[in-house]
Amino acid sequence: MSTGITMASMSTYAILGCGSVGYAVAEELADEGKDVLIIDADDGRVEALRDQDLNAKTADIADEEVPEAVEDRDVVLILSTDIEANQAAVERIRDRGDDQFVVARASDPVTADELREAGADAVINPSQVIADAALRALETGELEHKAGQLADVIDATESKLAILAHDNPGPDSIASAVALRAIAEARGIEADILYDGEIGHQEDRAFVNLIGVELLARDEVDFEGYDTLALVDHARSMEREIERPVDVLIDHNEPDGDYEAAFTDVRSNVSSTSTILTKYVQEFDLGLDDTVATALLYGIRAETLDFKRDTTPADLTAASYLYPFADHDTLEQVESPSMSPETLDVLAEAIRNREVRGSHLVSNAGFIHDRDALSQAAQHLLNLEGVTTTAVFAIDDERITLSARSKDIRLNIRNILEDAFEDIGEAVGHSTDATVTIPLGIFTGIETSDDNRETLLKLTEEAVRRKLFTAMGVDENGS
């Protein structure tokens, strides 16, 4: 029969050194009804503690007899300001061979290491604890302040808010826009999510369809008819200029343009804009429905490659908050979309034309209509045994499109593409996945026509392979 008694409720404690930190701990334990013994060298302090009905004794904590005095205690907290005395106490307690949990106070990282080596199970640095608490309070206060500023801008909307995602929007941008729209609508403001380009990736199309998000093409609406404009996750993927004032800018990358927005929150210390929007969802105490939660969780997972790329504690904390509210059946469907016939054809062509040097694979997929198929082919080829880096290119209309992936932590694949094609194309992406688009005529010096496309493909193939392998630092022998 259970008595409901836990190990924690049975613990007895000794506090060696009862300055301000020791006293705060003793008082908290006593309030919880714990059995606490205090040992301190100051007679006056011990007497004052006894006057408060605390069990206190006078002794130098470094004395040889102290370990015997606390041998019946489950937990020993050594909290004096004399770090040398603390180390001596730890060593004497461990010399007895008693199985006690010992917590010791340090003054800096060096003394913390010394106390651990002496046998302390846990080490605390009060200065660091105070600093951490101050930073948490600052973060909380700053978020509250920023949320108030964001609310003021949203509330000032007279007709409608336009939330502009980045060009050819991906999960992080879409999810962030969905969350900001939910915040606006909770405040009685109507909002639309707009985008330029196309939603090309199969997973992204499945994502939009499954969570029922309505996205509007920017060219199909009266863009000037919105009196408030917000950019979310927009910094590094804008081909068309925005020729009107921006009111809200939220991103995890520094913007390329100079926006004088009424509200700006750019945090390059997190890996996704969805992480930032999750913090605002919490701060606004938004009733979190499964659509918003699922979108934000997928946005974080997609941007961090399921927490395998550049993940920060803030990303993990946000994902942990969202997890119970998300629709995991929907997430599973989004992450396992069916493969289109063209994607299958592109993958087959890329497999046939692959060239592998060492652990690096480069392949030509021929002519394509769906650029997204290239990224999927590059990802699939990364699963080949011994391959750590892939690059798949093809001719798409009058340009060469190349998609690359890498799981080699020594490589930054975006930098590789920039080095290979810096004069003729602009690379976009991350250290583990990136894309570059090159005008075909610039690359070959020959005007494109229906009659010479095959010739251009052959000329292109040799040049692209050579540039890529050179930028990757591998020769014909794969070394």
Please tell me the pTM assigned to this model.
0.62
CATH code for the domain of 194: 3.90.1640.10
Find how far residue 171's CA is from the centre of its chain. Answer: 14
Phi/psi of residue 408, nearest 5 degrees: -90, 115
Does 300 share its domain with 169?
A: yes
Does 317 share its domain with 403?
A: no
Does 296 share its domain with 358?
A: no
Spatial contact of 86 and 118, defined as CB atoms under 8 Å apart: no
Does 316 share its domain with 410?
A: no
Q: How far is residue 291's CA from residue 136's CA, in Å, rounded to a whole number?
A: 29
Does 174 share its domain with 314?
A: yes
Please report whether residue 195 resides in a domain. yes
Q: How far is residue 413's CA from residue 405's CA, in Å, rounded to a whole number?
A: 7
Of 275, 310, 335, the residue that ends a domain is 335
CATH code for the domain of 348: 3.10.310.30
Does 325 share its domain with 442?
A: no
Does 18 share its domain with 80?
A: yes
Does 172 share its domain with 79?
A: no
Please report whether residue 130 resides in a domain. no
Please report whether residue 7 resides in a domain. no
Model pLDDT, residue 450 = 62
Does 193 share its domain with 314?
A: yes
Spatial contact of 252 and 267, defined as CB atoms under 8 Å apart: yes
Of 319, 335, 351, the residue that ends a domain is 335
Does 111 share its domain with 197?
A: no
Domain count, the chain: 3
- Distance linking the first and last C-alpha atoms of the chain: 68
How is residue 451 annotated by DSSP?
Answer: T
Please report whether residue 129 resides in a domain. no
Residue 312: domain span? 140-335
* Nearest alpha-carbon partner for 401 in 381, 380, 429, 382: 429
The pLDDT tens digits along the chain (479 residues) read: 333 434 344 589 999 999 888 898 999 898 888 899 999 999 999 999 999 999 999 999 999 899 999 999 999 999 999 999 999 999 999 998 878 899 999 998 899 999 999 999 999 988 877 777 777 777 777 888 999 999 999 999 999 999 999 888 888 999 999 999 999 999 999 999 998 887 767 777 778 888 888 889 888 888 888 999 999 988 655 556 777 889 999 999 887 667 788 999 999 889 999 999 999 999 998 888 899 999 999 999 988 878 877 788 899 999 999 999 999 888 888 876 666 787 888 889 889 989 999 899 999 988 887 777 888 888 888 888 889 999 999 887 778 888 898 888 788 888 899 888 887 777 877 778 888 888 776 655 556 566 666 777 777 788 888 888 999 888 766 55
Of 303, 335, 367, the residue that ends a domain is 335
Please report whether residue 54 resides in a domain. yes
Bridge-based pairing state of the strands 55-58 and 215-217: unpaired
Residues contacting residue 432 through CB under 8 Å, at least 6 positions apart:
305, 309, 405, 406, 407, 413
Q: How far is residue 151's CA from residue 144's CA, in Å, rounded to a whole number?
A: 11
Does 327 share its domain with 432?
A: no
Does 319 share its domain with 299?
A: yes
Please report whether residue 302 resides in a domain. yes
Please report whether residue 6 resides in a domain. no
Please report whether residue 294 resides in a domain. yes
